[in-house]
């Protein structure tokens, strides 16, 4: 549909825009997500223009209009170009001639940069709350598993025993760094571009610090050219989001493996799984699989935004309109994945017997035996060799180290005595690692307590 006669910028044009070009250049179908922030920004800017005595009465009326409009406007109301024009047209239709003053002292260039920052800041706050919720869920689960022994893995081979709570706290630490990064990123998002106008600033005597205050920005962008063209903040957010998704994908991978009958370490709640249309026995871990898969689109958005900005000359270029879809998609994907995990994690059911059996099968206490020999005076490298031979013997017999006789042990080293059996227990192994960051049950309890305190 041609909107030629509704255009807000066609004074100098002698022919209507080509219909395809109109559709090709429009962003309203996706940038409408910014509508509420656009209105809020408009009100604040006009408020200050008003204070400077440039526009009268508009302020009161836009405020009133803001409240009405928020509830009943959608991108189909005024299907023109972009959200900014859409809202200006809506305002003019509703309050008449004065609406035309809305664009005083600004440009869509500083307007869109402001809207995107407000949108992102709002959503970062929601995401941070979702992360905290997930962290609380993790702590709750970890608390119940400070003594639940499972194998810790390296190379996906049984390495040393750990407690399940310790493993969960590793996930917690990843989220803690993600939350830190997001909080830090929010500071740079929260800088006000408005006042930069098209690129060089405005000739109206505006007080940018006051707009920043009205809109809760922590700082004012210091250079007008940079203010309208900078999208670092969006790239930074998407890279932070990529790290978070990378973590969720690692975590998903573990849940998928653990929920498989081969591991059977955990059971996922039925409501987070789906069945197969052909194989009646299947209970598929679709939610973690999808989260793992969705990390791909977030990484894709990061690359898209980096590539979008690469080589762009100052200042604003229409290329920048392409920032919205990857950014909005990243926000939604993150929120959906965090929502799924926030509900699912506290409801994971551990299978402690299976975890323990797996830890017993993989010679998980071999390092403890080597450490024992070191305490008896052998150099670690020699101890490693002795234990390697003993493991070989146990493999041949198809038994665990603890099932070897004292005579077997003595054949390899006369330093081994009856007390060796106590270091071969899983409980002894985890309890021995009681330094900060270790897997001893009491240490894990202390870590959970610290984390609870940090979360508040
Ligand atoms: N829809 C545009 C965007 O997202 C708004 C800014 C348009 N500015 C311009 N000079 N054409 O970037």
Give the pLDDT confidence score for residue 4 in this predicted structure.
43
Token representation of residue 336: 């959906």
What are the pLDDT tens digits along the chain (456 aa)? Answer: 344 445 777 778 888 889 899 889 999 889 988 988 888 888 777 766 655 554 445 555 555 555 555 555 665 666 678 888 888 887 787 777 777 777 888 899 999 999 999 999 999 999 999 999 999 999 999 999 999 999 999 999 999 999 999 999 999 999 999 999 999 999 999 999 999 999 999 998 888 998 898 899 999 999 999 999 999 999 999 999 999 999 999 999 999 999 999 999 999 998 888 877 778 787 899 999 999 999 999 999 999 999 999 999 999 999 999 999 999 999 999 999 999 999 999 999 999 999 999 999 889 999 999 999 999 999 999 999 999 999 999 999 999 999 999 999 999 999 999 999 999 999 999 999 999 999 999 999 999 999 999 998
Distance between CA atoms of 324 and 336, rounded to whole angstroms? 18
Span from the CA of 83 to the centroid of ligand 1 (angstroms): 10
For residue 1, the model assigns a pLDDT of 37
Would you give the end-to-end CA distance of the chain in angstroms? 54
CB of 33 closer than 6 angstroms to any ligand 1 atom? no
Cα 271 to averaged position of ligand 1 atoms, centre (Å): 44
State the residue for tokens 């050219």.
225
Smallest CA separation from ligand 1 atom 3, residue: 321
- Rounded to whole angstroms, how far apart are CA atoms 314 and 330? 26
Ligand 1 atom nearest 324 alpha carbon: 4
Which residue from 417, 429, 408 is spatially nearest to 363, judged by alpha carbons? 429
Residue nearest to atom 10 of ligand 1 (CA): 109
Note whether 376 and 386 are within 8 A (CB).
no
Distance in angstroms (rounded) separating the CA atoms of residues 214 and 342: 34
Residue 297 structure tokens: 């689109």
Strand segments (E) across 237-323: 266-267
Residue 334 alpha carbon to ligand 1 centre in Å: 26
Given a contact cutoff of 8 angstroms between Cβ atoms, the answer to whether 38 and 87 are in contact is yes
Evaluated on CA atoms 345, 127, 334, 445, the torsion sign reads negative
Q: Is the CB of 112 under 6 A from ligand 1?
A: yes
CA 399 to chain centroid, in Å, comes to 44
CA of 112 to the centre of ligand 1 (A): 7
Q: What is the pTM of this model?
A: 0.91
Residue closest by Cα to atom 2 of ligand 1: 321
Select from 80, 109, 325 the residue to mutate for testing ligand 1; criterion: most ligand atoms less than 8 Å from CB.
Answer: 109
Report how far ligand 1's centroid is from the alpha carbon of 435 (Å).
56
Ligand 1 centre from 273 Cα, in Å? Answer: 43
Nearest Cα residue to 328 out of 305, 296, 306: 305
Domains and CATH numbers, the chain: 10-104 (1.10.275.10), 110-149+162-202+222-351 (1.20.200.10), 357-455 (1.10.40.30)
Residue 157: strand pairing partners: 154
Q: What is the 3-state secondary structure (H, E, C) of 422-438?
A: HHCCHHHHHHCCCCCCC
Catalytic annotation present for 385: no
Going by CA atoms, what residue is nearest to atom 7 of ligand 1? 108
d(CA 278, CA 276): 5
Query: Distance, CA 55 to ligand 1 centroid (Å)?
Result: 25
Q: Is 224 in the pocket of ligand 1 (CB under 6 A)?
A: no
DSSP state of 192: E
What is the token pair recorded at 56?
């009268």
155 is catalytic: yes
Per DSSP bridges, beta strands 157-163 and 149-154 are antiparallel
Which of the following is catalytic: 2, 260, 276, 422? 276
Choose which residue among 309, 320, 323, 326 to substitute to test ligand 1 binding: the one with the highest number of ligand atoms within 8 A of its C-beta.
320
Decide: 38 in ligand 1 pocket, CB within 6 A.
no
Q: What are the beta bridge partners of residue 422?
A: none
The answer to whether the beta carbons of residues 358 and 151 sit under 8 Å apart is yes
User: Is the Cβ atom of 27 under 6 angstroms away from ligand 1?
Assistant: yes
Ligand 1 contacts CB of residue 320 (under 6 A): yes
Confirm or reject: Cβ of 229 under 6 Å from ligand 1.
Answer: no
Q: Mutate which of 23, 42, 321, 324 to test ligand 1's pocket (most atoms within 8 Å of Cβ)?
A: 321
Any ligand 1 atom below 6 A from CB of 360: no
Catalytic hit among 71, 155, 435, 453: 155
Q: Give Cβ neighbours of residue 420 (< 8 Å, ≥ 6 apart).
A: 369, 372, 406, 409
Are 149 and 166 contacting, i.e. CB atoms less than 8 angstroms apart? Answer: no
Backbone dihedral region for residue 195 (phi beyond 0: left; psi -120 to 50: alpha; all else: beta):
left
Ranges assigned E (strand) in 109-190 = 149-154, 157-163
Cβ-based burial of 324 (10 A; exposed 0-12, middle 13-18, buried ≥19): buried
Q: Which of 177, 356, 171 is nearest to 254 (CA)?
A: 171
* Alpha carbons 80 and 49: distance in angstroms, whole number: 26
**What sign results for the dihedral spanned by CA atoms 281, 287, 289, 293?**
positive
Altogether, the residues listed in the chain come to a count of: 456
Torsion of CA 361, 367, 368, 369, to 10 degrees: 90
């Amino acid at each position: 549909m041609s909107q030629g006669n509704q255009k807000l910028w066609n004074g100098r044009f002698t022919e209507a825009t080509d219909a395809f070009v109109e559709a090709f250049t429009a962003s309203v179908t996706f940038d409408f997500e910014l509508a509420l922030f656009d209105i809020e920004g408009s009100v604040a800017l006009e408020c200050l223009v008003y204070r400077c005595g440039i526009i009268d009465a508009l302020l009161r009326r836009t405020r009133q209009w803001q409240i009405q409009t928020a509830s009943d406007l959608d991108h189909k109301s005024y299907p023109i170009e972009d959200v900014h024009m859409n809202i200006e047209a809506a305002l003019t239709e509703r309050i008449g001639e004065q609406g035309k003053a809305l664009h005083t002292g600004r440009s869509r260039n500083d307007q869109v940069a402001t809207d995107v920052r407000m949108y992102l800041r709002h959503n970062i706050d929601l995401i941070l709350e979702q992360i905290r919720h997930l962290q609380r869920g993790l702590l709750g689960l970890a608390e119940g598993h400070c003594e639940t022994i499972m194998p810790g893995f390296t190379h996906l081979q049984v390495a040393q025993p750990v407690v399940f709570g310790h493993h969960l706290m590793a996930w917690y630490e990843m989220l803690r760094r993600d939350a830190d990064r997001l909080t830090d990123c929010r500071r740079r998002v929260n800088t006000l571009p408005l006042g930069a106008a098209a690129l060089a600033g405005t000739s109206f005597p505006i007080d940018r610090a006051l707009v920043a205050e009205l809109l809760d920005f922590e700082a004012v962008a210091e250079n007008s050219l940079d203010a309208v063209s900078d999208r670092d903040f969006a790239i930074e957010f998407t890279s932070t989001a990529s790290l978070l998704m990378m973590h969720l994908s690692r975590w998903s991978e573990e849940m998928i493996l653990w929920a498989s009958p081969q591991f059977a370490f955990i059971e996922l709640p039925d409501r987070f799984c789906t069945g197969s249309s052909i194989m009646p026995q299947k209970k598929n871990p679709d939610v973690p699989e999808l989260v793992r898969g969705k990390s791909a689109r977030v990484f894709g958005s990061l690359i898209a935004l980096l590539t979008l900005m690469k080589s762009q000359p100052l200042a604003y270029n229409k290329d920048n309109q392409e920032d919205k879809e990857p950014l909005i998609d990243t926000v939604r994907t993150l929120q959906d994945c965090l929502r799924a995990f926030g509900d699912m994690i506290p409801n994971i059911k551990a299978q402690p017997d299976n975890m323990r059996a797996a830890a017993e099968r993989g010679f998980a206490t071999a390092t403890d035996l080597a450490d024992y020999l070191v305490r008896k005076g052998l150099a670690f490298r020699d101890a490693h060799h002795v234990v390697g031979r003993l493991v070989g013997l146990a493999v041949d017999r198809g038994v665990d180290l603890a099932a070897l006789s004292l005579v077997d042990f003595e054949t390899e080293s006369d330093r081994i005595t009856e007390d060796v059996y106590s270091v071969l227990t899983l409980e002894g192994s985890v309890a021995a690692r009681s330094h900060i960051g270790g897997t001893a049950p009491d240490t894990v309890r202390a870590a959970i307590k610290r984390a609870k305190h940090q979360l508040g």
